[in-house]
């Protein structure tokens, strides 16, 4: 009998090859026929894919059956991430999107490329922008083309999107809220809040669609369905604008507050009491025991964990405090409990008028103020800090792969996450993306990104803002 059956040799090689990196595995495949066949085993490449990414989808390679291999998926996705990390010429394209005749007040992805289901064969991201010129515009960012433009109305003040239903929601300076069909730009419904300032928050509970609007008078109004049917109204901070409005990952809690008065505590509201209000009971609401709210974020991997930056005294000192929100049902009443989990002081420039706060995962937040950027753990450990910009940061975008900062110095800074064996999670600064000349522009104002592209708005000196769309290739 053969002392070394071929299948045993192959099984042994495959086991040994599990300890190799991608480059080593490719090198090993050139040694001989047996090594080549072992190194091409789909199971090996599938294992490497799932070790590197939590979710992989071979359909992302397109419809050609020749392309459907785990090895090809791994190589194309690694190449895309390398381009996004290095930002070299040839690894991305840049398109200037012109058409607005006024200041861009916001931009959102209507159809983006998700990190969970990346489309590696082609990119078809669509971004919508709202402007003070009174129009909404939709853009194919890869081709640099305008897809549609809404009729001119009052100057727009805000925009959000529901990617699942491909619906755009806007607010204007007269308090009109409108929904738009994302593919055609057709107006679907309108609702008047009679407020010159509106903060928009859209969320879905099961299959039901809701929109909560913060007003300049200090109230929040909750609307249902794309017809914008009013469900409830609640006063949150009388006479001050509601300009902080968030929903928890499990959609059970709404957070509402104002940055305009340091003495008014923000509130958490049980969302069901807004979306399905009782006739004989007020919405279930509880103040958060902190003075004011300069910025806040729900932790994305926790059902109801909330981080808030707030004042700690008359000297302008600030702290970040983390709370867990829960509901307690008793025999005759139900109440909200807000329990402090962590709190630590922050050293921020007191002249910073805007504080930006985002969360990456259960134990990491990203904070920008002035020209500086910090990454902290929820216990207050400083993970990384940067001062790459020469002027204040105007907007940030945070996802599982990178952080993008937009600044008034007319540059975007791209940073990527890294898990270090010794120090754990950290953030590394990679490169700048430039937005043009200061002779023509004043700086970046908004930024948004999906898995394979970045879009930002540039404030023009002539009052006509331009979008810059950077698309990375695989």
* C-alpha to C-alpha distances, 196 to 100, 230, 445, 451, nearest whole angstrom: 22, 19, 21, 35
pLDDT reported for residue 354: 86
Out of 133-142, 202-211, 363-372, 412-421, pick the least confident: 412-421
Count helices and strands in the chain by DSSP H and E runs: 6, 32
How far is Cα 67 from Cα 426, in angstroms, rounded to an integer? 35
Q: What is the DSSP string of 53-70?
A: -S---GGGG-S-GGG--H
Total residue count of the chain as it appears in this document: 474
Confidence of residue 271 (pLDDT cuts 50, 70, 90): very high
pLDDT in tens, 452-472: 899 999 998 888 999 999 988
Confidence of residue 140 (pLDDT cuts 50, 70, 90): very high
How far is Cα 273 from Cα 282, in angstroms, rounded to an integer? 8
Q: Which residue has the higher pLDDT, 101 or 362?
A: 101
Closest CA to 448 of 204, 222, 184, 139: 139
Give the strand pairing for 267-270 and 285-287. Answer: antiparallel
User: For residue 182, which phi and psi values (nearest 5 degrees)?
Assistant: -65, -30
Q: What angle do CA 118, 121, 126 make, to 5 degrees?
A: 65
Does the pLDDT of residue 154 top 90, yes or no?
yes
pLDDT reported for residue 177: 96
Does the pLDDT of residue 352 top 70, yes or no?
no
3-state helix, strand, coil in the chain (%, to 5): 15, 45, 40
As a CATH number, domain 6-84 is 1.20.1280
Return the domain boundaries, the chain. 6-84, 198-349
Q: What is the pTM of this model?
A: 0.87
Rounded mean pLDDT of 33-55? 77
Q: Which fold would CATH assign to domain 198-349?
A: Methylamine Dehydrogenase; Chain H (2.130.10)
How far is Cα 400 from Cα 413, in angstroms, rounded to an integer? 16
Confidence of residue 1 (pLDDT cuts 50, 70, 90): very low
């Amino acid at each position: 009998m053969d002392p070394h059956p071929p299948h045993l040799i192959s099984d042994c090689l495959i086991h040994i090859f599990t300890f190799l990196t991608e480059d080593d595995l490719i090198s090993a495949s050139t040694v001989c026929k047996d090594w080549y066949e072992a190194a091409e085993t789909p199971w090996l490449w599938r294992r490497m894919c799932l070790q590197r990414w939590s979710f992989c989808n071979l359909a992302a390679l397109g419809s050609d059956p020749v392309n459907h291999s785990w090895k090809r998926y791994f190589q194309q996705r690694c190449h895309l991430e390398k381009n996004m990390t290095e930002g070299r010429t040839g690894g991305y394209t840049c398109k200037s999107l012109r058409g607005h005749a006024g200041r861009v007040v916001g931009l959102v992805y209507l159809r983006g490329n998700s990190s969970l289901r990346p489309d590696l064969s082609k990119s078809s991201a669509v971004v919508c922008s709202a402007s003070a010129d009174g129009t909404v515009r939709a853009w194919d960012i890869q081709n640099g083309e305008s897809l549609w433009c809404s009729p001119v109305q009052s100057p727009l003040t805000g925009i959000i999107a529901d990617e699942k239903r491909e619906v755009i929601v806007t607010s204007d300076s007269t308090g009109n809220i409108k929904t738009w069909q994302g593919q055609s730009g057709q107006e679907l419904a309108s609702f008047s809040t009679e407020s010159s300032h509106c903060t928009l928050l859209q969320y879905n509970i099961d299959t039901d669609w809701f929109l909560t609007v913060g007003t300049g008078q200090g109230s929040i109004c909750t609307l249902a369905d794309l017809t914008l049917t009013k469900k409830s109204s609640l006063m949150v901070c009388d006479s001050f604008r509601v300009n902080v409005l968030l929903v928890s990952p499990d959609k059970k809690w709404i957070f509402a507050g104002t940055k305009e008065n340091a003495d008014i505590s923000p509130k958490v509201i049980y969302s069901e009491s807004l979306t399905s209000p009782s006739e004989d009971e007020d919405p279930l609401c509880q103040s958060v025991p902190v003075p004011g709210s300069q910025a806040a974020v729900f932790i994305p991997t926790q059902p109801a964990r909330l981080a808030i930056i707030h004042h700690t005294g008359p000297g302008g000192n600030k702290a970040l405090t983390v709370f867990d929100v829960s509901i307690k049902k008793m025999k005759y009443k139900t109440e909200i409990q807000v329990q402090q989990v962590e709190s630590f002081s922050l050293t921020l420039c007191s002249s910073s008028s805007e504080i930006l706060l985002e969360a990456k995962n259960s134990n990491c937040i990203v904070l920008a103020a002035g020209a500086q950027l910090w990454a902290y753990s929820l216990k207050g450990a400083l993970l990384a800090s940067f001062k790459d910009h020469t002027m204040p940061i105007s907007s940030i975008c945070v996802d599982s792969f990178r952080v993008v900062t937009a600044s008034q110095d007319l540059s975007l800074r791209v940073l990527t996450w890294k898990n270090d064996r010794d120090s754990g999670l950290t953030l590394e600064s990679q490169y700048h993306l430039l937005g043009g000349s200061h002779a023509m522009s004043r700086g970046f104002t908004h930024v948004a990104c999906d898995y394979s592209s970045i879009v930002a708005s540039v404030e023009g000196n002539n009052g006509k803002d331009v979008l810059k769309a950077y698309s990375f290739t695989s």
